[in-house]
Structure 1
Amino acid sequence: MQTDTVVYIIISGLLALVLALFQYIFKSKKTTKIYWFLAFLRFVSIFSVLLLLINPKFDKMSFYDEKPNLIIAVDNSESISYLEQSDNTTRLIENIKQNEQLNDNFNLKFYTFGKSINSTDSLAFNDKQSNIALLFDRLSEVYNNSISPTLLITDGNQTYGYDYEFMTNRYKQAIFPVILGDTTTYTDIKIQQLNVNRYAYLKNKFPVEIIATYNGNIAVDTQLKITSGNTTVYSKPLNFSKSQSSQIVNLNLPANRVGVGSYRAEIIPLNNEKNTVNNVKNFAVEVIDQKTNVAIVSDIMHPDLGALKKSIESNEQRNAEILNSVNFLKQSNDFQLVIAYQPTNNFRSLFNEIDRLKLNKIVIAGTKTNWTLLNQLQSNYSQEVTNQTENFQPSANQNYSTFIVDDLNFEAFPPLQSEFGETKFTVPFETLLFKTINGTQIEEPLLSTFEINDRREALLLGEGIWRWRAQSYLDEKSFNTFDNFIGKLVQYLSSKQRRSRLNINYESFYNGNDNVKITAQYFNKNYEFDANANINIILSNKDTDKTITYPFVLKNANYQVDLSGLEAGEYTFTVKTSDGTISKSGELKILEYNVEQQFLNANVAKLESLASKSNGKAYFIDNTDSMISDLLSDSRFATIQKSSKKVVPLIDWKYLLALIALSLAMEWFIRKYNGLI
């Protein structure tokens, strides 16, 4: 309490005392007990009211016990059941939940992980992949500011993601791995890795790299075979020993037929080999008969150019080359699409050449664009020339019907900079992205597409698209979503297909552990997105003739169906609306491969290293009693008594109000009873 407040309280007490004595003792000239008692009551009333006016504040201390958290993270991937550890894991979870001492000393928090993280203790051991690094990444967001030792119940085999061994730099908790599996070493040969491009070009050869590894002590001989259907397309003998435990095989296979070609790489198993699943890997290559060449033409240097080139070339079917306007004229016949970046005074000949060759193009305008010239070079649109710039943020048009646009969270992207002023179109166009200024969307296009005289064009009114690619990486930890967006724009502009009311987006083939998702967009007769449509996909397995129908589910501005549970095989499909008036068909192939069945043992070394780096300890599943005992006796995880100080103003003390009411009531009653009123 401050000194000033104490002084005010003392003054209030003296003032209350003087007033009470003046009224009942000095003024009445009587000193009986009743008058002294009435003076006391009046003193209490006046002093209490003055205290409320001063309203001093007091510190209120409270004490409570805070138990540490105990995080139990359980591997829910298929490898656990494949290593025959699912029953042991289930029993361990039940023992932890029923252990009274653990419940008394910890707040138990259960999570399961595979490809994603779930806050639950329900186990099915059916996840196709496991990402342990993602688990620590998510837990660090919640528990880094608390005491939360972590039980990691897993075999330690991660199929994708960052190396979890080094996640202790971010996750600041003691980790206690419970190792599922054993350390027995089995003789085993496997295809450790197979590298191949997704696409190849007709009448060329495509490279294949196979890394084969051997785990054993004696020299063995086997054979590598690659087959396509019933035909063996490659064969090579392999020799392994304890000193030569791996081999890299590089080969080239011919691409003689357009379409998806499926292949099977197999190392002939040894007689005593326990796991033969990892001896085989299926792969596929899509053979195409042409490659799209894109010219990125600019007379200025800008980071947008590199971002566009990287995005375009992320798809092996496309090649991008950065040229100035003079060099483009020397090789203009080599390209199917031109990106004219910020046209300047030298672009007159470029536009004439594009018109002569009837090439499709993308025009990207920015702060260096010569709009006076650009307005003269074409008649499809015109820009008001103000010689002022403005920052425009993107806003997606949900009714864009030309091709499927993935949800990139455009509204959170950095703004692009371009000429301030109205852009007027003289031809029909579709807006893919609207301009947004200071959070307000205006009905002007930032990115638009249009078709005129059998040619397709796009206009982007802003420079700085490299920031979009960078933001996409920050959001997704990958450039894929942004690169796919640019890829679809390039694909549309380099294609001659007519616009359709039903658009489908899918891959020709999927690996067994991939997410098999197909997206679709459906538009009404006015080419406005229809969010109330009923769309189904009818799948037919070519080998079994089994037919399955799945409904599409609306998600943002797309319809989506998840086919990840399908068994491997070749499928034909038809996507159609409920009334059957519009439909599209296609084919896809799902390759047989289960990455979770590639492991024979738990990754003991990595789990022990993880425990050591985090100041924890590793345990095998058969030794969990000592684990529980160690957790309970570890002084780092003791229950802590904490105090909480709360500043409480006197006006919140209800008893003081009751005291004022009581003293006033008693004073009135005594005065009334003794005839003093």
Structure 2
Amino acid sequence: MQTETVLYIILSGIIALLVALFQYKYKTKHRRTLSIAFSFLRFLSVFAMLLLLVNPKFDQIKVFTEKPNLIVAVDNSNSIKHLSQVENVNKTLESIKNNVELTKKFDIEYFRFNEDIENSTILDFESRGTDIDKALNQISDIYKNDIAPVVLISDGNQTFGNDYAVSNTYSQPVYPIILGDTITYTDLQVKQLNVNKYAFLKNRFPVEAILLYQGNVDVTSRLTVIANGKSVFNKTINFSKENNSEIIQFTLPANKVGVRSYTARLEPIQTEKNTINNSKKFAVEAIDQKTKIALVSDMIHPDIGALKKSIESNEQRSVSILNPYEILNQINDFQLIILYQPNNKFKRLYQNLEKESVNTFTIIGTKTALGFLNNTVEVFSQESTGQTEDFQPKVNLNFSPFLVEDISFETFPPLLGPFGASKFSVPYETLLEKTVLGIDKNEPLLATLEHNSRREAVLFGENIWRWRAQSFMNEKSFSDFDNFMGKLVQYLASNKRKSRLTVEYESFYTGSSNIILKAQIFDKNYEFDARQSLDLILENIVSKEKQVLPFVLKNNNYQVDLSGLNPSKYNFTVRSKGENISKSGSFEVLEYNIEQQFLNADVTKLQQLATNTNGKAYFSNAVDALISDLLSNESYKTIQKSNKNTIPLIDWKFLLGIILLSLSAEWFLRKYNGLI
């Protein structure tokens, strides 16, 4: 408390005392006892009120102790059960929970993890994926300002995410408890199958199989590929300690349209412990035609190469780059023609396109002859001002012709296009809108339209290659941008009538992948209808079991998560409760559990993780040693902390009570003695 405040308090006491003595001592006629009582009560009241005016502040210090945290993270993936380590997990948890000294020293928190992490000790070991890196990063984020060593109970086998053994982002020391043994078993494994998802009818498609062997003696096995119970390929493979891997390349015929499942199997040897990883399933969808697309340009530009690579990322499509004269006699060979920055040389081509009613995708840029284009094309026009502008994209979530997702368009660099208004003489749909410096222009950057049984799209900007590059920087993959272009091309290459209900799904899924069906439903004006209620009627073709699942609205589409479906073939129907609209399809879930491909614990990575985080690795039979080390570690001590709060006197409610009590007592005494 400051000296000035102390002086004010002393002065308040003096003033209160003088007031009390003046009123009840100076020229008073009361009895001595009453005068003393009245003086004391008046002094108390005045002094308390003066103290409120001074309002001194007092420091309140609370001392408390804070124990360090101990995080126990348990692997809940299926590989724990596959390696017969469930009992070791339960024993380890019991040892930690029942140790009184450990409970006294630490605040213990329990987590389970697989693809995600949860604050729970309920374990079923059914998950088909493990992301150790994600679990450790989330724990580090939660306890970044605390002392919180991590006991990681795991076999170290990871199926998702970044390599946890080399990461330097963990802020806490990690003490792995290794589940599984280090004995080297003789093992054959179909490590990987490389095959395209699509093949063309009556063609042969390539398959590449990567086979691994673990052992010290020479062995012979046979690789067999089976389809519909029949062998379609087989080959004898020899392995040794030195020659412990083989890459086998072969082709298979695509004789029937549709999805066909195959099983690649390595014949097991007698001493093999794990035979589940000897086989792997794959599927190929045979199609009877390939979408052919012509990219017509009279110039060289990076956009041309980017468009070709993006469109051809789907094996069902091929792109031919031609000039405006080469294509004149080939127009009917293509389902879609992309017109890149057309000029006067495109005159005859436009005449033939109108005559043959071919679908087009026009890309307008700084080299486009706008005067020619406006005089030639009837359905749209672009104002010619001789100036250019940078336009950034903004996705229109109400776009109805096909299902579109926002692939972080706001992060994409702007396209360079002609400055000026664009006009359409027929109805159109805006897929991407123009924005300049964050301001909406209310003009389309990418639009689609349908007229006279033709489908067209117009992009009012060049340098789309930058979008593909930015998409790779965002996601470390071209797939998001390529899928976006694929949907646009698929829509433009077809002349099917627009449907009010669209469903997006794959023909087949592997058992370890996420299975999510997406749907969109539109009203009679083909605007996205978020008021509808959609159901999925799913039937297992083999077991005949049916179930009805609701779709959940998410952004501009409805979704249902079918992850965890048993391997089988399924038929489905998507129906609207509000209207008599439905759509059906089928898909197949292939049997594959990546968690059952492991034979041992990954001891090396777990020990490397412990070293990198200043922890220590233990096997499951050395839990007592771990507990002893945690208890004796001087870094993990209970810390005494204090909180200092400065409290003003005016917040002390008891003072107000004292004032009321003293004034009331004084009034009551005066009234009782007939002085009022």
- Per the shorter chain, which TM-score range? 0.7 to 0.9
Q: Distance in 2 between matches of 1:67 and 1:367?
A: 67
Q: Report the alpha carbon displacement of residue 257 of structure 1 after superposing the two structures with TM.
A: 4.8
Paired residue for 1:511?
A: 510
Task: Report what 1:546 is aligned to.
Answer: 544
The change in CA–CA distance for 1:317 and 1:639 in structure 2 (over 3 A counts) is farther
Residue pair 2:509, 2:590 contacting (<8 A) in 1 also: yes
1:63 aligns with 2:63: yes
- State yes or no: 1:214 paired with 2:210: no
Paired amino acid for 1:17: I
* CA deviation vs aligned residue, 1:559-586 (integer Å, no higher than 9, x gap): 3333433333444444455699544443
Distance 1:21 1:320, change over 3 A: farther
SS at match of 2:216: coil
Is the 2:298–2:323 Cα contact (8 Å) retained in structure 1?
Answer: no
Mapped to 1, the partners of 2:452 and 2:545 lie a distance apart of 43
Q: Name the residue aligned to 1:260.
A: 259
1:540–1:18 distance in 2 versus 1, CA, 3 Å = closer
Does structure 2 retain, via aligned residues, the 8 Å contact 1:536–1:578?
Answer: no
SS of the residue corresponding to residue 247 of structure 2 reads strand
Distance 1:33 1:552, change over 3 A: closer
Counterpart of 1:17 in structure 2 is: 14
Matched, 1:82 2:79: no
What whole-Å deviation, never above 9, does each CA across 1:479-502 have from its counterpart, x for those lacking one?
544432232112111222221222
Aligned to 2:497: 498
Task: State the shift of 1:669 in Å.
Answer: 7.3
Quick one: which amino acid aligns to residue 7 of structure 1?
E
1:428 corresponds in structure 2 to: 427
- Aligned counterparts, 1:150-189, within 5 A: 150-167=150-167, 169-189=168-188
In the TM superposition, 1:244-643 aligns within 5 A as 244-255=243-254, 257-288=256-287, 289-293=289-293, 295=295, 311-319=310-318, 327=323, 329-330=325-326, 333=330, 336-339=335-338, 343=341, 347-350=343-346, 353-354=349-350, 356-357=352-353, 358-364=357-363, 374-383=373-382, 394-398=394-398, 400-406=399-405, 408=407, 423-433=422-432, 445-461=444-460, 479-530=478-529, 531-541=531-541, 544=542, 546-556=544-554, 557-577=556-576, 582-643=581-642
The whole-number CA distance in structure 1 between the counterparts of 2:181 and 2:65 is 40
**Structure 2, gaps ≥5 residues long:** none
User: Following TM superposition, by how much is the alpha carbon of 1:385 offset from its aligned partner in structure 2, in angstroms?
Assistant: 6.6
Compared with structure 1, are the counterparts of its residues 377 and 275 closer, same or farther at alpha carbon in structure 2 (3 Å cutoff)? same
Name the CA distance, whole Å, in 2 between partners of 1:163 and 1:248: 25
2 CA distance for matches of 1:53 and 1:472? 66
- Residues 582 and 17 of structure 1: CA distance in aligned 2, closer, same or farther (over 3 Å): closer
In structure 2, the CA distance between the partners of 1:395 and 1:12, relative to structure 1 (3 Å rule), is farther
Amino acid at match of 2:425: T
Q: What secondary structure sits across from 1:72 in the alignment?
A: strand
Q: Greater shift after overlay, 37-46 or 483-492?
A: 37-46
Change (3 A) 1:420 1:53: farther
Question: SS of 1:643's equivalent?
Answer: strand
- Asked if residue 145 in structure 1 is aligned to residue 142 in structure 2, the reply is no
The 1-side partners of 2:313 and 2:389 are apart by: 32
Change (3 A) 1:371 1:12: farther
8 A Cα contact 1:397 1:434, kept in partner: no
Q: Distance in 2 between matches of 1:576 and 1:7?
A: 80
Moved more, 75-84 or 116-125: 116-125
- Which whole-Å CA distance do the structure 2 matches of 1:676 and 1:306 have between them? 107
* Secondary structure in structure 2 of the residue aligned to 1:17: helix
TM-score by length of structure 2 reads 0.83
CA contact (8 A) 2:201 2:286 kept: yes
Closer, same or farther in 2 for the Cα pair 1:10/1:511, shift >3 Å?
A: same
* 8 Å Cα contact 1:225-1:235 kept in structure 2: yes
Equivalents in 2 of 1:582, 1:15: separation in Å? 85
1:268 is displaced (CA, Å) by 1.5
Q: Distance in 1 between matches of 2:496 and 2:127?
A: 39
Cα distance 1:307–1:633, how it changes in 2: closer, same or farther (>3 A)? Answer: farther
In the alignment, the residues of structure 2 paired with residue 549 and residue 670 of structure 1 have an alpha-carbon distance, to the nearest angstrom, of: 84
Give the 3 Å change call, closer, same or farther, for CA 110–424 of structure 1 in structure 2: farther
State the distance in 2 between where 1:472 and 1:69 align: 41
Between 585-594 and 183-192, the greater mean CA deviation after superposition: 585-594
Name the SS for the 2:65 alignment partner: strand
Aligned to 2:227: 228
CA contact (8 A) 1:298 1:340 kept: no
The aligned amino acid for 1:149 is P
- For 1:112 and 1:297, how far apart are their aligned partners in 2? 57
**Tell me, what secondary structure is at the counterpart of 1:165?**
coil
- Residue aligned with 1:164, SS: coil
Determine if contact 1:44/1:663 at 8 Å carries over to the other structure: yes
Q: In structure 2, how many angstroms separate the alpha carbons of the residues matched to 1:534 and 1:555?
A: 9
> Equivalents in 2 of 1:552, 1:34: separation in Å?
84
What is the CA-CA distance between 1:142 and the residue it aligns to?
1.8
Q: Which residue of 2 aligns with 1:104?
A: 104
Give the whole-Å Cα distance in 1 for the aligned partners of 2:623 and 2:258.
54
Q: Give the distance between the partners of 2:152 and 2:324, measured in 1 at CA.
A: 58
Q: Bigger shift: 81-90 or 435-444? A: 435-444
Q: Secondary structure at the match of 1:160?
A: coil
CA distance in 2, matches of 1:14, 1:338: 96
Q: Secondary structure at the match of 2:166?
A: helix
**RMSD (Å), alpha carbons:** 4.2
CA-CA distance at 1:105 after TM superposition = 3.0
Whether the 8 Å contact between 2:291 and 2:335 is mirrored in structure 1 is: no
Alpha-carbon offset, residue 310 of structure 1: 5.4
**Separation (CA, whole Å) in 2 of partners of 1:410 and 1:368:** 25
Superposed CA deviations along residues 5-24 of structure 1, whole A, max 9, x for unmatched, are x4365357447736864885
1:153 Cα deviation (Å)?
1.6
Aligned-pair CA distance for 1:409 = 6.6
Displacement after TM superposition at 1:276 (Å): 1.4
Distance 1:562-1:7 versus aligned 2 partners, 3 A rule: closer
* Letter of the 2:73 counterpart: A
CA distance in structure 2 between the aligned counterparts of 1:122 and 1:468, rounded to whole angstroms: 45
Describe the shift of the 1:11–1:520 C-alpha distance in structure 2 as closer, same or farther (beyond 3 A): closer
- Contact 2:361–2:457 (Cα < 8 Å) also in 1: yes
Please tell me whether the aligned partners of residues 144 and 171 of structure 1 are also in contact (alpha carbons under 8 angstroms): no
Deviation at 1:517, TM superposition (A): 2.7
Note the residue ranges of structure 1 that are not aligned, 5 or more in a row.
none
CA distance in 1, matches of 2:351, 2:510: 43
**Alpha-carbon distance, 1:30 to partner:** 7.3
**Contact 2:291/2:334 (<8 A) preserved:** no
Relative to structure 1, is the Cα distance of residues 7 and 389 closer, same or farther in structure 2, using a 3 angstrom cutoff? farther
Q: How many residues align?
A: 663
1:7 aligns with 2:4: yes
Equivalence for 1:73: 73
Alpha-carbon distance in 2 for matches of 1:464, 1:42: 88
Q: What pairs with 1:654-669 in structure 2 (closer than 5 Å)?
A: 654-661=653-660
Matched residues in 1 for 2:196 and 2:519: separation? Answer: 27
Q: Separation in 2 of the partners of 1:298 and 1:37?
A: 110
Partners in 2 of 1:282 and 1:618 — Cα distance? 36
CA deviations over 1:357-408 (Å, ceiling 9, x no partner): 454333456788776665444232345677685866625334x332222465
Secondary structure at the aligned position of 1:427 is classed as coil
Query: How far apart are 1:128 and its partner, in Å?
Result: 1.6
Q: Percent identity?
A: 48
Query: Structure 1 residues 120 and 22, CA, compared in 2 at 3 Å: closer, same or farther?
Result: closer
Q: Structure 1 residues 54 and 189, CA, compared in 2 at 3 Å: closer, same or farther?
A: same
How far residue 165 of structure 1 moved from its aligned partner, in angstroms, is 1.0
Which whole-Å CA distance do the structure 2 matches of 1:201 and 1:592 have between them? 24
Secondary structure of the 2:93 match is helix
Residue 270 of structure 1 and its aligned partner are, at CA, apart by: 0.9
State the alpha-carbon separation in 2 of the partners of residues 335 and 537 from structure 1. Answer: 38
Q: Which amino acid aligns with 1:260?
A: V
Report the CA distance between 1:173 and its aligned residue. 0.9
